[in-house]
Amino acid sequence: MAIFTATNPFMSLTDSVEDDFELSTVCHRPESMDKLEEQTKFTKKELQVLYRGFKNECPSGVVNEENFKHIYSQFFPQGDSSMYAHFLFEAFDTNKNGSVSFEDFVFGLSIILRGTINDRLNWAFNLYDLNKDGCITKEEMLDIMKSIYDMMGKYTYPTMMDDAPREHVESFFQKMDQNRDGVVTIDEFIDSCKKDENIMQSMQLFDNVI
Amino acid sequence: MAAGVATWLPFARAAAVGWLPLAKKTMPKPPVDNSSRSDEILYVNVSGVRFQTWKNTLDRYPDTLLGSSEKEFFYNEDTQEYFFDRDPEMFRHILNFYRTGKLHYPRHECIQAFDEELAFYGIVPEIIGDCCMEEYRDRKKENQERLAEDTEANEANDAPLPPHSTSRERLWRAFENPHTSTMALVFYYVTGFFIAVSVIANVVETVPCQPPKGMVKDLPCGMKYQLAFFCMDTACVLIFTFEYLMRLFAAPSRCKFMRSVMSVIDVVAIMPYYIGLVMPENEDVSGAFVTLRVFRVFRIFKFSRHSQGLRILGYTLKSCASELGFLLFSLTMAIIIFATVMFYAEKGTKGSTFTSIPASFWYTIVTMTTLGKHIKRHYIQVDLKLLVLWTAGFTQTFCRH
C-alpha cells in the first residue's frame, strides 16, 4: 500500500499508532489516483474531492482512532458516538494496523456508496460481527445496539429505557435468525434483509450521496 | 462544526449503513443539496493581488461577506473576478480563516486596521484562535485606553466655545481648562499656591520651636504660634470651600460631579476644619479630633488637578487594581499559612511568644518584609515605607504598564 522509497526519509508506515507524536512525524501517501480509480467505483473528480477533505483533516495521511472518533462526534453532537465510531473504525481498518489510510477509507466508502445491495449488506454484516468469526451473537448485537442508542442520544423516541436495546436485539434475532440457533450467519442476514421491504428501500438512499 | 469536517459529510452519511438494517422503519431521504455538486475555483482580486480559492472553502461560513451572496456586489463581469479595494496583506489572514477555520491576529498590524477589515468582511473577532486571542485582547484594551485619554484631552481642549453659552457653562470651562481665559489661569495658580501653603503649614507646625520664656520643654511651632497658624488654616479652607462651591454651581451635572474622585478629595480636605469648629474642647473627643487632622494631608491630592503626571499615576493604579488586589490576597494567604505553622510548631515549648495565631501574624509579617524579629515597634513607619516601595516595585513588573 504505502510506497517505500530509500531516498526519501520521510516515508514510512506505522504499525502501531499509540504514540501521537510518532504519528505526527509520519507521512503516508496513497497510491496514485489511476490505481484508486480502477480499484474503486469513484471518478477522478470524486477522488479529488474526497482526498482534499481527508488531507485537510488528517495532514499526516492516516487517521487514528482518536481522530476518527473526534470527527464522528462532530456530526452527532446529541449523544455519545464514541463506541459506534470505534466499531466503524474497526470495520474500515481492514488490515488491522490501528490506522485508517486514505485507501482504506476510499475502499470502504466505495462499497457503501457505490456497491451493490449485496456488497452493502456484506459490509454491514462485517461491521456487526465484532470478532469476525462469520456469525453475529446476541452479545455482539447488544453491544452494537447500545452504541447506536448512545449515539442517537436524545433523539430516540420514546425516551430510551434501559432495556430498549435488549428488546430491539430480541426482535432483530426473531426476524433474522431463521434456524433459531442463537446466532445469525451471513446468509441468514442477507436473506432476511432482502425479504424486508423497509431495508431494501433504505439501501437505495446511498445512491445519491457525494 | 469545524470547516474541514464538512467535507467528511459523505462519510458520515455512509456510516448510516450500520444502523439501516436495524431500523424499524424506512429511513427518510437525505436532503439533496444541488449547490455543492461541482466545485469551482473563484478568483478574488484585492487591490491587484489575485487570490484563488475553491468556492466550497468560502461557503463554509455563510454568514460572512465572502460566504454569502453579498460578494456578488463586488463581482466584476469583465474580468470574471471579485474585486475588493482593500488591504491585500490583511486579506491573506481573512482567507486563511476560511481555509483553516482559525483566525489569527498578526502582531505587527495595527489593531484598529485589523478590526476594520474584520468588520468589512463580516467576521466577528470572538472567533480568533487561542494562540492569538490574548495578544488581540491586550492590544485592544491598550487602544481603548488610549482613545479614552485622547477624547478626554480633546474635550478639555475644545477650542471655540459655542456662541450662546450661559455664564454657568463659561465658568465650568474656566475651571476645567484654565488656559481659556486669564481669570481662569489666575484662579488656577492661586488655588495651587494655597494648596502648597496649606501643606507646608501642616508640616511646619509640628517642628519644635524655641520655647517661650518661662517654659523648659521644646514646643512644636503649632502650639507657640497657634493664632497665626489658625488664621492661615482658616484662609486656606475659605478659599477651598469657595472653589468647591463654585465648581458645584458650575457643574453641568451636579450628581455626577459630587460622585467624582476630585470632588471627594476636596470635601475630605476641608471637612476636618469644620468638624473641628463644631466639636467641643472635650478631652475624650480631642483624641479623635487629632486623628481627623491627619486627613488634612489629603490636600496634597488636590494637586492632581494641576499635574497631569499625578492623574496618570491614579489611572495606572486604577487599571492595575485587580492585580494589586490579587497581590494583597496572596500575601494574606501566605501570612495566614506561615502564622498557623509557626503557632502549632511552637505550641509545645514553654515561654513561647506565639500565644495565638493572630499573635504569630506580627512575627510572620515582620519576617516576610525581611526586617527580622528584633525590630522594635516604633520602627513600623520604616517597615511600612519599605513595604510600600517593595509592593510598588512588584506591581510595576506585575502590570504591563
Q: Could you say which architecture CATH assigns to the domain B311-399?
A: Orthogonal Bundle (1.10)
Average of pLDDT values for B231-236?
89
Architecture in CATH for domain B177-306: Up-down Bundle (1.20)
Q: What structural domains does chain A harbor?
A: 46-114 (1.10.238.10), 132-209 (1.10.238.10)
> Which residue of chain B has the CA closest to A124?
B18
| Average pLDDT estimate for B26-54 | 77
Residues of A in Cβ contact (< 8 Å) with B30: 205, 208-209
| Mean pLDDT in residue range A140-168 | 77
- Per residue in B102-111, pLDDT (tens digit) is 899 988 989 9
Q: What is the mean pLDDT of residues B301-330?
A: 84
Distances (CA, A) of A172 to A188, A197, B25: 12, 15, 13
What's at A169, amino acid-wise? V
Which is it for strands B49-54 and B208-209: parallel, antiparallel or unpaired? unpaired
The pLDDT of A107-127, averaged and rounded, is 88
Separation in Å, CA B143 to CA B38, B103, B138, B148, B355:
45, 20, 9, 9, 54
Question: Are residues B367 and B373 in contact, defined by beta-carbon separation less than 8 angstroms?
Answer: yes
Domain residue extents for chain B? 41-147, 177-306, 311-399
Chain A residue nearest residue B10, CA to CA:
A210
Residue B10's pLDDT band, with cuts at 50, 70 and 90, is confident
Assess whether pLDDT exceeds 50 at residue A41: yes
Better pLDDT: B216 or A56: A56
Which positions in chain B touch A112 (Cβ < 8 Å)? 14, 17
Contacts of A88 in chain B (CB under 8 A): 15, 18
Element (H, E) at B209: strand B208-209
- Tell me: pLDDT of B217 over 80: no
* pLDDT (tens digit per residue) in B161-171: 666 677 888 88
pLDDT at B3 exceeding the cut of 60:
no
- For A210, the closest of B10, B24, B27 (CB atoms) is B10
Whether B25 has a pLDDT exceeding 80, the answer reads no
Q: Which residues of A touch B17 (CB under 8 A)?
A: 112, 120, 123-124, 127, 206
Beta-carbon separation of B21 and A123 below 8 A: no
What ipTM does this complex have? Answer: 0.73
Q: What is the CATH number of domain B41-147?
A: 3.30.710.10
- What average pLDDT is seen over chain A? 79
Q: Which carries the bigger pLDDT value, residue B231 or residue A5?
A: B231
The pLDDT assigned to B47 comes to: 92
- B interface with A, Cβ–Cβ < 8 A, is 1-2, 4-5, 7-27, 29-30, 32, 39
Overall average pLDDT of the B237-249 stretch: 89
Is the pLDDT at A11 greater than 50? The verdict is: no
**Could you identify the residue written with the cell 465484532?**
A130
- Confidence band for B233, pLDDT divided at 50, 70 and 90: confident
- Write out the three cell numbers for B182: 486669564
Residue closest to B232 by CA, chosen among B296, B288, B287, B282:
B296
What are the backbone angles phi and psi of residue A181, rounded to the nearest 5°?
A: -100, 5
Tens of pLDDT along B274-312? 887 777 666 666 666 677 777 777 888 888 877 778 888
